[in-house]
Structure 1
Amino acid sequence: MVAEAVQRKLGESDDLDWKEDLPATSPVKGEWNEFAKDVAAMANTRGGLLVYGVSDDISMVGIDLDGVNDKQLGQWLRVHLQPTVSGVSYLKLPATDGTDKDILVVDVPASEMAPHFLYGWQQKDKDKTTFNAPFRYRDDTGYMAEHQVALAYRERFARQAVAEAALDQHVQHVTVARSGRRTRCPGGGRCSPGRAGGPDSPVEAAGSSAGRLETDREGPQVWREDAR
């Protein structure tokens, strides 16, 4: 898939970002994390792929898969993003043509919890700490303006409202289904749904050898199997 896209010189888009080198580890705690920024940008838009080992001119240059640390990448997301992005997967593609040009594909899903904010500071911004929501626009990464952040939150709350309504409907359906199995029959017994007082109800079976209704003087009538 990657080799074919490179051969076709498939350009970057809002859901595809070519990366020549693996994400670099910052020696300074709290410094801006480019990997977290790129993941958040994809998650805040519609999801997409970060492909490491392909240059800006869309040439296969490869990376060293031994340098890929899934746990470290996941930790960066947890530390630098609020809220973190879940469901990110890492696909390692070793070269099969003897060129040692391995590829790493990071698959970022569209997030139900967007917007995701990136926290950190950059030396080029005079060590100013920033808290921004990145997003993809065509082949570029930008940062949401205030009205875009507000819209992203409205969309998140709308998704949550739909999910909660669906859950409530499911709970009501299960509750009705369960209560229907324990429909009360005349005299206080319990019948199958839609069979109250029918020929198969406990009322009609009172004198049979299969079972009987017995009145508890200290409580309601209860159904029990005839022990005799």
Structure 2
Amino acid sequence: MSDQRSNRSFSAIAWTRFLLLLARAWVRRHIVRAWCGLRCTWHSASDDRLTIDLVQQACAEHIPESASLDWKRDWPLTGAMTEQKQAKQQEFAKDIAAMANTGGGPIVYGVDETRVDDRSVAERIVSVGEVTETQMRELYQAANNLIYPAVAGLKMVLVSDPGSAQSVLAAVVPDSASRPHLIHPKGRPDWFMAPWRNGPDTMFMSERQLADEYRQRDRGRDQRDQEMEAIWSSAMKACGAVRDKQWIIGVLQPERSPLHRRPIQRSQARTVLDWCDRNQVGLSELGGDSPVSAIYVNQHRELHRGLRMFYRATPANSNVCGRVEVHADGTIVMAVHRSEGGFRERMVSLDGDVAICDIEQLGLDLAVALSATRAVFGIAGDYTLRVGVEPGTQIFRRSEQMLKGGFMPWDEADRVPNFRTVTGTIGTDTPTMAAADILELIRDVVHQTGQDLSFSTATALPRLAESPEVTSAAND
């Protein structure tokens, strides 16, 4: 009898130990996945997933360094501008470039390390203390000036706990479409080398690795170009862009898709479009013209599912038509068309005429959508923007300043014989940079008509850089 009790007691203890081990393994796996998630879906410095609690849990569980996670004890740049500080700048740039060349991930400063099972693991927070704007600016300058090409989408995030005065700095490095990123090795300013992470260790690429990376970069660009052409062609067909029915089309495409592209959820598309509805800026609201806005004419319309996207569209027989598409990779398509009834009746409408103010409004709409798509889809890095008129036209109508919503009578001298579609890169290191790049591209489009941007557009786009952060409730 006592043997049976002893056996049952032993079984209960063994079972309890097993459950505890299983629970600890689950917690550890959860923490590791949380850190990996920063690499896969990081999108803004306000993301609340990176917390002091998460860092403390990583220390308690002795989470090891890996190819996508690096622990650092000290602040990366210290001291005056001496040879020692220059060496630290080069070391900092090397760490950033290596992470970008290996798929991206966070480098966390302010975490002491120890060795466990011959691996470097997080042990405790040592805190980086208070950080000034000057110190942050130095980090960005070192990364931008010492890495070739610079890593687009790099984020420096200070995470602190006022209650315990603990703070860490996370340099969140995106997976880069521009790799390989090169640096000058120490003591060899005339050399370039490409660092990469082999697990937790940093090494330099061989000649064959470099050749492979450059081929992969070219293939990636070719693929994105093909995808852009396919999306542009699809948008033309969906809009019904045929002779004498000109549409102004804009496609804003991330240069690198999210690491784990998933089927787009209706909630994601709705979050993007609802945010655009709330934050859309119209030229007419700024005392300017009365253009057609793809966002405004589609407000509250039904959301339809398409091929790896959702869209809203006005009825085809409307005087003013608009279409907005949200794609699974974070691409945004906006298009507008103004039929003869969309121009003032007292003005003569010509076959194939396009309102210049509609082009400017399209730029404002795309700038609004950029912030939302980056947040919802977790996109870090630059975008490609293409804006044009399909099918092509030579007739662009100027607004009548004395008559709200009216247009100047057509003058044959205003004909534009060689109007072209314009494509450019939109940098997203800061909202101000993104707004400035969109402004320049739209200016290039409008300049072809012999006109300059309206004062309303030139002042509105920079203001959009101050738009509130998007709540990424649709990251599901």
- TM-score normalised by L of structure 2: 0.35
2:224 corresponds to 1:163: yes
Partner of 2:438: none
Tell me if structure 2 keeps the 8 A contact 1:44–1:135.
yes
2:160 corresponds to 1:94: yes
Tell me if structure 1 keeps the 8 A contact 2:158–2:170.
yes
Partner of 1:206: none
Partner of 1:44: 101
When structure 1 is superposed on structure 2, of 57-66 and 147-156 the one drifting more is: 57-66
1:174: how far off? Answer: 3.1
Partner of 1:8: 61
Letter in 1 for 2:148: Q
2:181 corresponds to 1:116: yes
Partner of 2:82: 27
Partner of 1:215: none
**Unaligned runs of at least 5 residues, structure 1:** 184-191, 194-228
* CA–CA distance in structure 2, aligned partners of residues 129 and 101 of structure 1: 41
Letter in 2 for 1:48: G
- TM-score normalised by L of structure 1: 0.71
Letter in 1 for 2:142: W
2:157 corresponds to 1:104: no
Residue number among 146, 151, 156 corresponding to 2:207 in the alignment: 146
**Which protein has the bigger helix share?**
2
Tell me if structure 1 keeps the 8 A contact 2:185–2:193.
no
Q: Deviations over 1:21-55 (max 9, x none)?
A: 01125524975611111110110001011001111
Residue number among 193, 218, 221 corresponding to 1:132 in the alignment: 193
1:144: how far off? Answer: 0.5
2:166 aligns to what SS in structure 1?
A: coil
1:51 aligns to what SS in structure 2?
A: strand
**Unaligned runs of at least 5 residues, structure 2:** 1-53, 115-121, 246-315, 318-476
Tell me if structure 1 keeps the 8 A contact 2:100–2:176.
yes
Identity %: 31
Aligned-residue Cα RMSD (Å) equals: 2.4
Letter in 1 for 2:194: A
1:75: how far off? Answer: 0.8
* CA–CA distance in structure 2, aligned partners of residues 182 and 175 of structure 1: 13
* CA–CA distance in structure 2, aligned partners of residues 51 and 14 of structure 1: 13
Tell me if structure 2 keeps the 8 A contact 1:65–1:94.
no
Tell me if structure 2 keeps the 8 A contact 1:65–1:104.
no
The number of aligned residues is 180
* CA–CA distance in structure 1, aligned partners of residues 233 and 189 of structure 2: 51
Tell me if structure 2 keeps the 8 A contact 1:30–1:120.
no
Partner of 1:202: none
* CA–CA distance in structure 2, aligned partners of residues 46 and 76 of structure 1: 21
Tell me if structure 2 keeps the 8 A contact 1:18–1:55.
yes
1:182: how far off? Answer: 4.6
Instruction: Tell which structure's C-alpha radius of gyration is larger.
Output: 1
1:94 aligns to what SS in structure 2?
A: strand
1:110: how far off? Answer: 0.6
* CA–CA distance in structure 2, aligned partners of residues 33 and 152 of structure 1: 22
- Bigger relative contact order, structure 1 or 2 (CA pairs below 8 A, ≥6 apart): 1
Letter in 2 for 1:104: L
Tell me if structure 2 keeps the 8 A contact 1:65–1:103.
no
* CA–CA distance in structure 2, aligned partners of residues 165 and 157 of structure 1: 12
Letter in 2 for 1:179: A
